[in-house]
Structure 1
Amino acid sequence: MNRRVFFQSALSAAPLLAAQPGKKYKTALIGSGWWGMNILREALASGDCSAVALADPDPSQMDKAALEIGKLSSDQPRRYKDYREMLRKERPDIAIVATPDHWHALPTIDSVKAGAHVYVEKPISHTIDEGKGMVKAARDADRVVQVGLHRRVSPHPISGMEFLKSGKVGKIGMVRTFAHAGGGPGTKSPDSDPPAGMDWDLWLGPAPARPFNKAIHPRGFRQFLDFANGTLGDWGVHWMDQVLWWTDETHPKSVHSTAGRFVRQDSTDAPDTQIVTYEFETFRCTWEQRHYAANNAEQHLIGAYFYGTEGTFHMGWRDGWTFYPTKKGDQIIHVEPKLNDPDGQ
């Protein structure tokens, strides 16, 4: 199953969104950068959605999005800098929220209050309290909210999870999730004026005021804690979701974390090194990250190891999944990566 099929399945499975013959759902994209367009592209390809509006404080992002939408469909979405004006005027059926993380909560809450169902990119929110507020708003408004943990519909994670749940790995007592990258100290980017036409104050929104910096917008915000939660909030969310997909436990009993900036200096302010321990009832899980030294020793830069009595299972990204059996002589099982195009996810 790919994300396009997932969109179609979600529309047909939810009574509130059950597709009617010939009807296309008015769909608005809030946050029209590259990932927002990845999501909207799949919505349009499902055949059930029409793009009626874009909302983004950066008009250059909307220009690129509108150009691609014109190539994909006959839709001519109207453009708004402020999503709140868009919600008032357009009253969309569906809102896709693909903003930086610090802007996930308010557009989601405002969209469900305006009557829209929401697809919000992961992580659900910047803080736990924001997430609780989003859940309450969705329930109060009786709207459907889907969080974009798309690896649950990527082909090889699906087959890998089937293997894990089959019991062939044996009793699993430990899981190690990780994301490692190469690189050195980096260089600090100087502040500057925002791009022409961009409303930087609106982009900041609920975050503390600070000058524009090209290291933050459009793609670097995840490594600044005013706007996101570093690599743990980016990649960690994906791999912890794989753990929760596998286990019957809904949450850990406790979480312990230690982190710091030991190599990257002041090029960003998110940790370049972090280790987290999640205590579940029947197993322990760890998260590791670093932005230096990569992981050449293990040949896997990212993923999750599930350690069982019958062997070790590695769920990867662009390296598929692999089972390393404990018993000598047993064959290693490897499945090549199968991802969704064109974004390789």
Structure 2
Amino acid sequence: MNRKDFIKASAILAASTVYLKSFAHPLTSFNQQIRVALIGANGMGWSNLNALLKTNRAVCTVLCDIDENVLQKRANELKERGIEVKTCVDYKDVLRDSNVDAVIIATPDHWHCLQFVDAVKAGKHVYVEKPIGNSIRECEVMLATEKKGNVIVQVGQWQRSQQHFQDALDYVHSGKLGNIRLVKAWSYVGWKKNIVKKPDTAVPAGVHYDRWLGPAQKRAFNPNRFHFEFRWFWDYAGGLMTDWGVHMLDYALMGMKATTPKSIMATGGNFADPNGAAETPDTLTAVYEFDNFYIQWEHALGMDLGPYDRTHGVAFIGNNGTLIVNRNGWEVIPEKDGGPAVPLQKSSDNGLEKHMVNFVDAIVAKDKGMLKAPLEAGAHIAIFSQMGNVAYRTGRKIYWDKGKQRFTDSEANKYLAAPYHNGYKIPHES
């Protein structure tokens, strides 16, 4: 497989609405628990593991993290619940363990591709956090690897398992909104303030820093670049665009049954604190052009008053009215002479927990078609979001060549792949 897989992966968007319509039921005939290992035990990884354990059809056997402080803390928390686990700092030890059936990859973005490829080759089922890769090239490699493996792969786009998001899509597809010419998607993160510059420090005790860096450029340890804060630096991630954008833009695309944009342009910067430590923009607007409509993404750190007084969401703006959906629910605001209003339809389920049930069901049934967020879907939206970042970093309006599966601009193509350092090399598609 090569870049042509992007177009093939795009087809999953149309199928996604079918996946979302029917939720898998627990398999009552299933007696054996899935043995799972967590790679990256801080933050979202811990949430993922706990949601998986709530299915009562999985048991944690191994915890892996390069920070022994986090590792011991999580192992102790599990022990208090009667769960004894092995611990390690090298994820390859996890993949060699015969007592592991599936892994959760919840490490920083720049590690996803390497760990995913190794996990699939080791025959482990994988739950991988979003965005699946830290570049367009990494997403392509992961798609090719998954095709040759015989494992189940679920991406952490857990909103795909929430019923109210599907209900909102059904309304959009009903045509009641009339002609939709504009879709807005956004994330305003008021609780996250600017990152003040901090001096480099010695590596904290218990932290295996070289393992944390992996393929990223060698730098002195700085607390601003570690744990949660890594996402604001290009070495490791893509800022809010690939953190929240992959969630909201995913639904923008499914609502419009759209795949590849004709052009992308973006503008923004670190306007809240030009002297801060972050590299990724704290304020950004990106516009994706399609034939008869466009999708607009915007984000801002340090403020909550986003469009329609919501911190995050997607708005489908039609001639008859606007449908707004986010994690809390959905509603329709009619135009003056449009259709009837639909009051807020609140969310009534736990998307992450349902997502894990779906993951387990697919493993037991050995059926990739059951997945709500298969790798193809995760790759497509990760690539789509990366396009917005590439437009921002080049400062140009860029165009995607469907035939060559690359940008028409040589400057933009420099960002197709993230650079690898320290002796690491991006895996080959074969």
TM-score range, shorter chain: 0.7 to 0.9
One-letter amino acid of the structure 1 residue matched with residue 263 of structure 2: S
Q: TM-score, with normalisation over the residues of structure 1?
A: 0.86
C-alpha deviation, 1:91, in angstroms: 5.6
Deviation digits for residues 70-89 of structure 1, max 9, x if unmatched?
A: 345x4322111010122113
CA contact (8 A) 1:87 1:111 kept: yes
Equivalent residue for 1:188, pick from 173, 194, 197: 197
Equivalent residue for 1:43, pick from 29, 52, 59: 52
Matches within 5 A, 1:1-345: 9=24, 21-72=30-81, 74-90=82-98, 92-182=100-190, 186-265=195-274, 266-295=276-305, 298-318=308-328, 320-327=329-336, 330-331=340-341, 333-338=343-348, 340=350
CA contact (8 A) 1:53 1:77 kept: yes
CA contact (8 A) 1:59 1:197 kept: yes
Q: TM-score, with normalisation over the residues of structure 2?
A: 0.70
Quote the Cα distance in structure 2 between the aligned partners of 1:65 and 1:185: 29
C-alpha deviation, 1:47, in angstroms: 2.1
CA contact (8 A) 2:306 2:312 kept: no
One-letter amino acid of the structure 1 residue matched with residue 52 of structure 2: A
C-alpha deviation, 1:339, in angstroms: 5.4
SS in 2 for 1:263: coil
Quote the Cα distance in structure 1 between the aligned partners of 2:92 and 2:319: 54
Deviation digits for residues 117-141 of structure 1, max 9, x if unmatched?
A: 1110111110111111111111112
Q: Return the structure number with greater helix share.
A: 2
Q: Which runs of 4+ in 1 moved over 6 A?
A: none
Structure 1 stretches lacking a partner, 5+ long: 1-7, 13-18
CA contact (8 A) 2:66 2:207 kept: yes
Structure 2 stretches lacking a partner, 5+ long: 1-22, 356-430
Deviation digits for residues 314-336 of structure 1, max 9, x if unmatched?
A: 11234x32210013594452223
Quote the Cα distance in structure 2 between the aligned partners of 1:208 and 1:106: 15
- CA 1:306–1:71 in 2, change beyond 3 Å: closer, same or farther? farther
Quote the Cα distance in structure 1 between the aligned partners of 2:98 and 2:202: 32
C-alpha deviation, 1:20, in angstroms: 6.6
- CA 1:342–1:125 in 2, change beyond 3 Å: closer, same or farther? closer
Aligned pairs, number: 329
One-letter amino acid of the structure 2 residue matched with residue 240 of structure 1: L
Quick one: higher RCO (CA 8 Å, sep 6+), 1 or 2?
2
Residue of structure 2 in register with 1:16 after alignment: none
CA RMSD after TM alignment: 2.7
Quote the Cα distance in structure 1 between the aligned partners of 2:352 and 2:158: 14
Greater mean deviation of Cα atoms: 152-161 or 172-181:
152-161
CA contact (8 A) 2:158 2:352 kept: no
SS in 2 for 1:142: coil
- CA 1:262–1:59 in 2, change beyond 3 Å: closer, same or farther? same
CA contact (8 A) 2:110 2:236 kept: yes
Quote the Cα distance in structure 2 between the aligned partners of 1:87 and 1:297: 45
SS in 2 for 1:220: helix
Deviation digits for residues 163-219 of structure 1, max 9, x if unmatched?
A: 323322222121011122447755212222233211011111111111222223221
SS in 2 for 1:227: coil
C-alpha deviation, 1:111, in angstroms: 0.3
C-alpha deviation, 1:296, in angstroms: 6.4
Quote the Cα distance in structure 2 between the aligned partners of 1:91 and 1:273: 45
One-letter amino acid of the structure 2 residue matched with residue 104 of structure 1: H
- CA 1:96–1:296 in 2, change beyond 3 Å: closer, same or farther? closer
Quote the Cα distance in structure 2 between the aligned partners of 1:309 and 1:298: 17
One-letter amino acid of the structure 1 residue matched with residue 33 of structure 2: K
- CA 1:252–1:297 in 2, change beyond 3 Å: closer, same or farther? closer
Quote the Cα distance in structure 2 between the aligned partners of 1:254 and 1:147: 27
CA contact (8 A) 1:91 1:114 kept: no
SS in 2 for 1:104: helix
